[in-house]
Chain A
Amino acid sequence: MHLDLKRLVSDVTERKQLLDEDLIKELCERCKEVLVEEGNVRHVAAPVTIVGDVHGQFYDVLELFRIGGAPPDTNYVFLGDYVDRGYYSVETITLLVLYKLLHPQRVTLVRGNHESRAVTQTYGFYAECVRKYGGAAVWQHFTDLFDYLVLAVVVENTVFCVHGGLSPVVHTIDQISVVDRFRELPHEGPIADLVWSDPMENYPTASAHSPGGSDPISAMERPEFGLSPRGAGYLFGKEAVRKFLEVNGLAHVTRAHQLCQEGYRIMYGNLLSTVWSAPNYCYRCGNLASVLEVGPDLGFHYNVFGPCPENEREAPVGVGSGGGRFGFRTTPSVDDDEALLPPATGLNGKIVPPLRRWDVFDDDDEVVGPRKSGKRAIENDDEYDGRAGKGGVVDEYFS
């Protein structure tokens, strides 16, 4: 079957079409053929833009491509959580699959904890598929495809990218490479940890360990890890990150998985960052989003953006089509005092991604996030529609 993938992309992005179930099945089969050739840990070159959770917020994904550039003009690593929560998970994952097929070398899709049959049955993707297609077949095609997504990415042998975080049983990249990833996400073990874990400030402390009884983490002699309140994966601290980077000759960990009000968050003296790419998450949290643009010299730029304004929802996807929304720049300018700093040499002689000049440090010299610029996702009240009446936002509050 010949597929005009470019035309399908514009069907989805401009005409907002839902593709036929047969077509979805074919796209997923082809995508599996591409992904099966990729190792669990994919190595990519800079420049590349790293994207965090998007959770079915299709219009905001289109906004993201306006701001960051569309493939193939920009290389992308998506860190997972493409579906659930937002109202357009089908359109979102369809578009990303199309881009992956169109530009397999320039687009990398990492698996998040929501790329799972169990989770998507609870958090909306399954229900959305049934609602839009009248049955579960499309959900089945996509969730079968999810089994093929890679587990992690390394950018220029310097930056480790994963959805959740680190695992107490994973010391080296090679250990990730040898697991069998082609299955439903397990509840525990290294794969589960990579998609579920979270970094924690000021860890380890006594309170983070399970009270009383034998601590399973100590038994494994990894005191830098503790039980996670999510019930899957672990909490880990600076020491865990430092060790992992040192052992593997890397400089930085980038991950997603946790909501950041400012769109991103830098921790542990810039050893780890969180990128969050779903603005006004669930149409409720009022947060900013960002993508992490890694330059050819491994300079880091967190490109921050707000939600798609209602009145531009029908605009076609373009490449860098102008200034960022709500006063945020889409590309760094040299004269701007918020411009990129030159990269510094850090751990193991590796290049360390530079800090932005205005990052805020806490008392322990840890970077805790950007100085409050006062910019919020919604600059102009009139522009934002609050998803009025679209899927019943009031349903999502207690009344």
Chain B
Amino acid sequence: MSGHAPKGDDAIRQTNDDATISRLSAANLGYFHDPFVKYFVRRPSSNERRRSPLMNWGTYLRVTGLDELVDRFLGISVADEQDPSSSNAIETAKQILVLGAGSDTRWWRLKERGKQPAQYFEIDFPEITSLKIASIKKNEQLSRSLGTIDISSGGAELHSQAFHILPGDLRTFHPSITDALVKSGFNKDIPTLILSECVLVYLDPSRGDSIISWCSENLRRAVFVTYEQILPDDVFGRMMLRNLQSRGVDLRGIKEYPDLASQVARYISLGWDESFSVNLNDFYNSSVSSSEKKRLTAIEALDELEEWRMLLQHYCFVWAWLDRSKSGFTFRSFKQL
């Protein structure tokens, strides 16, 4: 069986399949609303698509936490840079950049609620973007909300008025991906959210650092949101690394940024104004209401908590922000998730 394990980039690309199936499993059971993920999974009704309750709860937490961060970003009132003395904060255009977006359905879920930003960019390997674009073409439920679509690069690139999929390798973020972004309408001046959902950790730390630095050097108002693994050195962490390695997945960044403190320090040292973090266990304890826990328990009861806590402690949300404009960005609401 280990002979069939994918190697290198293939193994990383496969993590997208795993994550997508996890989202499908949780969505199917009613943990959260995502009517779009099924279009990106082969045989979405198969029994193989159901994950364990621990995974479903964990996927719910991940989706909920990131949704909340994204919603807060989109909801922030930003003063007009041209008229900063004005006491009226206006809604300036915002954009979102998703690194290693895979089969993410976030754009459609935002669009369904009328919350989509002015511009939305997704980057991933061409092998992945091609499949995603093929699914979009095949399913009217995905394509109709995009409006006019322009597909290029042999099916690996898609542009529409507000939504763009760009093929690329994050190891060469600048200049190849950044140039392509700008050419596609990416605006360095408007408030930008960059999302890395289990992505940076797969990169060599120096390459991840250079992405984070490029953003802090080139963007005027930005938020960087990361979700990834931490704590490689305890028993659970060592087993996690070993298990992932046996499937060809290396968490290259985890030793360099192994805990919440070093994750936070990373963004500060790379030019961001402030940075915060929380592990998923603390997020679960502080941010999931008891009525929500009741609702989830009615779907699937968590029968034991030791393993749950251990698993959750090995994942974190990290978010950092910067403001180079004189418009006095109100990012305070990010201090506590």
Which A residues form the contact surface with B (CB < 8 A)?
A: 85, 113-114, 119, 122-124, 127, 130-131, 229-231, 257-259, 261, 280-287, 376-377, 381, 384-390, 392-399
Contact = CB atoms under 8 A, between A and B. Distances in A.
A219 B78 CA distance: 54
B1 A123 contact: no
Interface of B: 1-2, 4-5, 14-16, 18-19, 21-22, 47, 50-55, 58-59, 62, 198, 229, 235-236, 238-240, 242-247, 249, 297, 300-307, 310-311, 315
20 contacts: A85-B52, A122-B301, A124-B52, A131-B47, A230-B303, A230-B305, A259-B304, A285-B307, A384-B242, A387-B243, A387-B246, A390-B1, A393-B243, A394-B14, A394-B243, A395-B18, A397-B229, A397-B244, A399-B15, A399-B22
Given A286-B238, A393-B246, A122 B53 contact: yes
A123 B247 contact: no
A258 B304 contact: yes
A227 to B, nearest CB: 12
Given A285-B307, A386-B243, A388-B1, A399 B249 contact: yes
A389 B243 contact: no
A204 B43 CA distance: 51
Given A386-B245, A393-B246, 13 more contacts: A122-B303, A123-B52, A127-B47, A230-B304, A230-B305, A231-B297, A257-B304, A259-B306, A281-B307, A284-B307, A385-B246, A395-B18, A399-B249
B297 to A, nearest CB: 6
B246 A123 contact: no
Interface of B (DSSP majority class):
helix
Max chain B Cβ within 10 angstroms of own Cβ: one of A376, A390, A395: A395
A376 B19 CA distance: 31
B300 A122 contact: yes
A389 B315 contact: no
Contact of A394 (B47, B53, B249, B304): B249
Contact of B239 (A113, A114, A284, A389): A284
Q: Which 3 A-B pairs have the closest CB atoms?
A: A389-B1, A388-B246, A399-B15
Contacts of B240: 284, 397
A390 B2 CA distance: 8
Contact of B58 (A231, A257, A384, A398): A398
B18 A389 contact: no
B5 A389 contact: yes
Contacts of A124: 52
Max chain A Cβ within 10 angstroms of own Cβ: one of B5, B235, B315: B235
A280 B16 CA distance: 26
Given A119-B303, A123-B303, A394-B243, A285 B235 contact: yes
Max chain B Cβ within 10 angstroms of own Cβ: one of A229, A282, A397: A397
Nearest to A84: B303
A287 B235 contact: yes
A319 to B, nearest CB: 31
B99 to A, nearest CB: 15
B257 to A, nearest CB: 17
Max chain B Cβ within 10 angstroms of own Cβ: one of A119, A286, A377, A392: A286
A384 B198 CA distance: 26
A376 B229 CA distance: 22
A258 B303 CA distance: 10
A390 B243 CA distance: 11
A384 B242 CA distance: 9
A380 to B, nearest CB: 13
B238 A393 contact: no
